[in-house]
Chains A and B, each alone.
Chain A
Amino acid sequence: MRQFYESVRIALSALWANKLRSVLTLIGVIVGVATIIAIVSLITGMNQYVASSINSLGATTFIVEREGIITSEDQWWDRQKRKKITIADLAAVQQGCENCETVSGRATTARTAKHGNKNVDDVWIMGATANWPQTVDFDLEQGYFPTEADDEHRRPVAFIGYDLIDNLFPGYNFIGQTIRLGGRDFTIVGNGKRRGSTLGESRDNYVIIPLSTFEKYFGTRRSVDLFVKAKSFETMDDAKNEVRMIMRARRNLSYGQDDDFEIFTAGDIMSIWENFSRGAFIVMIGISSIALVVGGIVIMNIMLVSVTERTREIGVRKAIGARKSSILWQFMSEALTLSFVGGAIGIAGGVLAGWLLSGLSGIPMGIELWSVVAGLAVSGGIGTLFGVYPAMKAARLDPIEALRYE
């Protein structure tokens, strides 16, 4: 045991004595391990972000949209050509779908919001039916959400987010005040809780008005997104099918034709993300494997040089009583010390890189313990695998030859 401690001490002092050579030796292992740590923590962070974003949708809600989830530019152009979904479609679904508990609608655009001489640019304007809060997770703070009566009468009332409060009404009461959107005045009736920002974008820069008011003031060119809450998780598929049938009938689609609209759930979004992250994970494994193998080969080379440089020393150790196994373990320990030091630096580097990338790109980051353990295990494996050959060479040296070595 003492011999192991000895070898570790020797290896560490050799590493420290020649820092540049050590860094060059360990670069492969450092990069390999750092890649594992950084990418796993970014993927973990994104998983948490996607999951929490989707959570607001709820397990029994699905969305009916014209565009849906887009994965290529061609797809976007094609889908823009489709018929838009209208309030009439919403009414038809509401009436015809038995398994649907709530059917709400939403249309969106962006405008500048003004109050007095202050304004906020690029505000996300959402026209929604009064029952929309029932279909998504919703946090009311003060006042109330536009009602069915407001919707029926197309009243110019607004439910605002915190960016507008912070910029247009800092520190004073805003309920009852007016804001100007797209040249029209709206009365503020309520606001939502602060949500913060993700991926660098603020989630508090919105105004919600009744859907019919939206169509009155901003036209009917925008497609309406339907948010449908099924009666239960078990009946969600039935609800989706009913909605699909109703929509297809309204658009006179024949049996062989594809849907010209999209129906998807939180689960669908999650699957697409999972496909992507699986791909990223595989790429990561590829990169780090290459780096680790290269790193292992470099360690093996350095160990071989070390064995040659210390041939005399090995001869002396054998002369004073070291057995083959002692010499083998001595050099294996040195190889393992090398690779574990590389692994430790790689872990630190990976955490740092992940943190930097996260700060720069806005992608959240979450460090997973298993990736750190994997990093250490992998370093140990590389040290063992690539240290064996030099260690055996050292152990097999003939003491007489070794003692004569210049």
Chain B
Amino acid sequence: MSQDDILIKTTDLWKTYKMGDEEVHALRGVSMTVQRGEYLAIMGPSGSGKSTLMNLIGCLDTPSQGNYELNGRQVAQMNDDELAYVRNKEIGFVFQTFNLLPRATALHNVELPLIYNGTASEQRVDMAKRALEMVDLGDRMMHRPNQLSGGQRQRVAIARALVNNPSLILADEPTGNLDTKTGLEIMNLFDRLHGAKNTIILVTHEYDVAAYANRVVHIRDGKIEKEERGRRVAA
């Protein structure tokens, strides 16, 4: 395992919130490493700190203490604009509630990250089209979200996450709003993406979903409780 293979390295991450007079520690010293190409799931009950960890990994927030190195960048001390840049380039978010712009076409939704990094118009449309084709929605590019099913909407969101060739796909309960059959389709899609050498981190509280990953990290009370291999990986 060379240094180049490490995508994420967190060292003793703490996140503390002030609630009135009290201090609440959402994370109490989390250290972990994620390699390029890994398929990782983070599991934990409510209040375990898994959302806080996800927000830190996704560069939506910075830790109160500790280091976070993402793809060679020290992220922990970055300011808002720098974090925005990193989010744009390195991270592809997939949300439980899809979070698409309701009045824009699928193509335009997928283009959005490219607009924010100033990509030229023609190139943008090309990249967006390819991303949509990768998730099998090449024929629905001009549809609006209200003309798409739940599964299709999530696929548009995944295409949006992919469009910038991010280092990491970060999915928060991606099947939470989908029925079992559609959820299965989406998890199969993630498998395909993993096969295409994408690094995927899933955050979930469902074992069935976590099982798709190669490695499962359990969090409780702000600390890593244990790690195990995903059920599907041969022992």
Which residues of A are at the interface with B, using a C-beta cutoff of 8 A? 2-3, 6, 10, 13, 312-313, 315-326, 399-400, 403
Chain B residues with CB below 8 A from A318, complex form: 60, 84, 87
**Contact residue among B61, B80, B87 (Cβ-Cβ distance under 8 Å from A320):** B87
- B80 near A326: Cβ-Cβ < 8 Å: no
Q: Are B115 and A323 in contact (CB under 8 A)?
A: no
Give chain A residues whose Cβ lies under 8 Å from the Cβ of B112.
317, 320
- Residue of A312, A317, A319, A322 ringed by the most chain B CB atoms within 10 A: A319
| A321 to B63 alpha-carbon distance, docked (Å) | 19
Among B55, B61, B84, B99, the residue within 8 A (CB) of A321 is B84
**Chain B residues in contact with chain A, CB under 8 A?**
55, 58, 60-61, 80-81, 84-85, 87-89, 93, 95, 99, 101, 103, 112-113, 115-117, 121, 160
Q: Is the CB of A321 within 8 A of B93?
A: no
Given contacts A2-B121, A3-B115, A326-B116, contact A320 B95 (CB under 8 A): no
Pairwise interchain contact A313-B101, C-beta atoms closer than 8 A = yes
Smallest CB-CB A-B distances: 7 pairs: A321-B88, A321-B116, A316-B99, A323-B84, A320-B113, A323-B81, A322-B116
Q: Which residues of B contact A321 (CB under 8 A)?
A: 84-85, 87-89, 113, 116-117
Q: Is the CB of A319 within 8 A of B87?
A: yes
* Smallest CB gap from A310: residue in B: B101
A-B contacts, 14 listed (Cβ < 8 Å) = A10-B103, A315-B99, A316-B95, A316-B99, A316-B101, A317-B116, A319-B60, A320-B88, A320-B160, A321-B88, A321-B116, A323-B84, A323-B85, A400-B61
Chain A min CB distance to B158 (Å): 13
A97 to chain B, nearest CB (A): 81
- Chain A residue numbers with a CB within 8 Å of B89 are 321
CA distance A382 to B55 in the complex (A): 39
Q: How far is the CA of A318 from the CA of B101 in the complex (A)?
A: 13
Question: Is chain A's interface secondary structure helix, strand, loop, or mixed overall?
Answer: helix
B80-A323 in contact (CB<8A): yes
A389 to chain B, nearest CB (A): 20
Residue of B nearest to A315 (CB): B99
Closest CB of chain B to A354's CB: distance in Å? 38
Instruction: Report the bound CA distance from A312 to B99 in whole Å.
Output: 8
- Cα of A325 to Cα of B93 in the assembled complex, Å: 21
What CA separation (Å) do A312 and B102 show in the bound complex?
Answer: 12
- A324 to B80, Cβ gap below 8 A? yes
Q: Which residues from B are CB-within-8-Å of A400? A: 55, 60-61
CB distance from B92 to the nearest CB of A (A): 8
Nearest chain B CB to A134 CB, angstrom units: 74
State how many angstroms separate the Cβ of B63 from the closest Cβ of chain A.
13
Q: Which residues of B contact A2 (CB under 8 A)?
A: 115, 121
Instruction: Choose among B58, B99, B103, B121 the residue that contacts A13 (Cβ–Cβ < 8 A).
Output: B103
Residues of the A chain whose Cβ atoms lie less than 8 Å from the Cβ of B87: 318-321
Contacts of B61 in A (CB 8 A): 400
* A236 nearest CB across to chain B (Å): 70
Besides A312-B99, A320-B116, A324-B81, 13 other A-B contacts (C-beta < 8 A): A2-B115, A3-B115, A10-B103, A316-B95, A316-B101, A319-B60, A319-B87, A321-B113, A323-B84, A323-B85, A324-B80, A325-B81, A400-B60
Chain A residues closer than 8 Å to B95, beta-carbon distance: 316, 403
**A403 CB contacts on chain B under 8 angstroms:** 60, 95, 99
Of B58, B99, B121, most A-chain CB atoms within 10 Å: B99
Minimum Cβ distance to chain A for residue B85 (Å): 7
Q: How far is the CB of A16 from chain B (nearest CB, A)?
A: 11
Residue of A nearest to B80 (CB): A324
A residues within 8 A CB of B116?
Answer: 3, 317, 320-323, 326
Q: Which residues of chain A are near B99, meaning CB under 8 Å?
A: 312-313, 315-316, 403
Q: A405 CB to closest chain B CB, in angstroms?
A: 11
Minimum C-beta distance from B131 to chain A (A): 13
Q: Which residue of A lies closest to B108 (CB)?
A: A6
Residues of B within 8 A of A313 (CB): 99, 101
In the complex, what residue of chain A is closest to B100 when comparing beta carbons? Answer: A316
Complex: chain A residue closest to B118, CB-CB = A2
Q: How far is the CB of A14 from chain B (nearest CB, A)?
A: 8
